[in-house]
Amino acid sequence: MPSGVSLSSTKSPGKKAVKKPFKIAFTYNLKPENISKDDPDAEFYAEFDTPHTIEGIRKAIEANGYEVIMVEANESAFDKFRQHRDEIGLVFNFSEAVSNGLDREAHIPAMLEILKLPYTGPAPLAAAMILDKARAKEVWSYHGVPNAAFQLFRSKDEPLKAGLSFPLIVKPTSEGSSTGIRDSSVVKNEKELRSRVAEILHDFEQPALVEKFLPGREFTVSLIGNGDKLESLPLVEVNFESFPKGVNRIDSYEAKWVWDDPSNPIDAVICPAKVDSALGKKVVDVAKRAFLAIGCRDWARVDVRLDDKGEPYVIEINCPVGLLPDPKENSRMPTAALAAGIGFSQLLGKIISTALERCGKV
């Protein structure tokens, strides 16, 4: 903890400054109790966390010497932030949403902007764009950051634009944690395309994002920092060899949440990825450019995939990044940190100190 940080010293002539304790507010989403993997709503809550995970993160923040104020990301969050406004030095924003909606990742950042409280991660505009994969791709294209050619489908019958050829991948535009990404998302002909687009439109009530399928290796790049101090942790590669035989080589919902079960784990990732330094540099470079172009801050995880010529393309950015405290759970950013000798608590400490530095608080 940065000692002697005075957030709201009340100075008046002749009186000593009163230092209030420096606290971190930790805002998060809890999965509803007793939701099993087979529950029809399990996919919807895939991004929310269990009490065990939330408790692990709280302890990790405390291990850095901070006092923690817990704020569940719900409709009461604004009042709770306001109530503790003078004590909060920084908000560790780990929330996905307050309610449903395509701008949901911006809900908590918007509250914190209103209250003028500093927080980790992107401001509302960037937070909303991170979730909207099509909008993010438009920004990357403008800035020359390589990303797969795409088309947005608002109805299943729109003609496929020239230049997009099979195979393609069909995804919900504004989801995460591989929600809506199944083995059947890779489509090889018109019939499969129309059928999968119709399913996405129906199930998620949002446009379907159809992208050129990048057949190469897949990496995820964990980034911490800002501006020219942005740094990458060791690369994580998705280990498609560990997937069941015959399935498409994509990091699908099944791959993240069904096949890789702590009671029967698969080696879903390789870390550090075996790459030569030229490729490693190119992959990290694309990830950093993607991060900066969107206006991300402090930390994020960027998915990158290679095309048939081995060139890297950004797939998407994640922030907040999934963090599971138990190394056995193969959570990607903690795995990358561990490969660099950075334990879970230290990782949380680094993210927090990066944000404090950006906000001029250290």
Ligand X SMILES: Nc1ncnc2c1ncn2[C@@H]1O[C@H](COP(=O)(O)OP(=O)(O)O)[C@@H](O)[C@H]1O
Query: Choosing among Mg ion, ligand X, none, which partner's interface includes residue 213 (Cβ < 5 to 8 Å by kind)?
Result: ligand X
Please, what is the minimum distance in Å from the beta carbon of residue 41 to ligand X? 17
Q: Is 303 in the site for Mg ion (CB under 5 A)?
A: yes
Residue environment code for 276-314, b if the CB has 16+ CB neighbours within 10 A, otherwise e: eeebbebbbebbbbbbbbbebbbbbbbbbbbeeeeebbb
Please, what is the minimum distance in Å from the beta carbon of residue 315 to Mg ion? 6
Whose Cβ is closer to ligand X: residue 58's or residue 171's? 171
Query: Rounded CA gap, 258 and 38, in Å?
Result: 10
Query: Choosing among ligand X, Mg ion, none, which partner's interface includes residue 242 (Cβ < 5 to 8 Å by kind)?
Result: none
Whose Cβ is closer to ligand X: residue 132's or residue 303's? 303
- Only segment of 125-133, 183-191, 300-308, 344-352 that touches Mg ion (CB under 5 A): 300-308
Would you state the structure tokens that stand for residue 330, as one six-digit string? 């193969």
Whose Cβ is closer to ligand X: residue 211's or residue 260's? 211
For residue 233, how many other CB atoms are within 10 A of its CB?
27
Query: Choosing among ligand X, Mg ion, none, which partner's interface includes residue 214 (Cβ < 5 to 8 Å by kind)?
Result: ligand X
**Residue whose structure tokens are 């698969």:** 266
Task: Return residues touching ligand X (CB under 6 A).
Answer: 148, 169, 171, 175-179, 181, 211, 213-214, 218, 250-251, 303, 305, 315-316
| Residue 179 amino acid letter | T
Please, what is the minimum distance in Å from the beta carbon of residue 130 to ligand X? 10
Please, what is the minimum distance in Å from the beta carbon of residue 350 to ligand X? 23
Sequence length of the chain is 362
267: phi > 0 → left, psi -120 to 50 → alpha, else beta; which? beta
Query: Choosing among Mg ion, ligand X, none, which partner's interface includes residue 126 (Cβ < 5 to 8 Å by kind)?
Result: none
> Nearest Cα to 268, choosing from 347, 324, 344, 224?
324
Query: Rounded CA gap, 54 and 329, in Å?
Result: 14
Residues 156, 194 contacting (CB under 8 angstroms)? yes
Residue environment code for 67-96, b if the CB has 16+ CB neighbours within 10 A, otherwise e: ebbebbbbeebbebbeeeeebbbbbbbbbb
Please, what is the minimum distance in Å from the beta carbon of residue 83 to ligand X? 34
Helix segments in 6-116, DSSP class H: 51-62, 77-83, 107-114
Please, what is the minimum distance in Å from the beta carbon of residue 90 to Mg ion? 27
Whose Cβ is closer to Mg ion: residue 77's or residue 321's? 321
Whose Cβ is closer to Mg ion: residue 22's or residue 96's? 96
Query: Choosing among Mg ion, ligand X, none, which partner's interface includes residue 298 (Cβ < 5 to 8 Å by kind)?
Result: none
Please, what is the minimum distance in Å from the beta carbon of residue 19 to Mg ion? 42
Note the residues at the interface with Mg ion (CB under 5 A).
Answer: 303
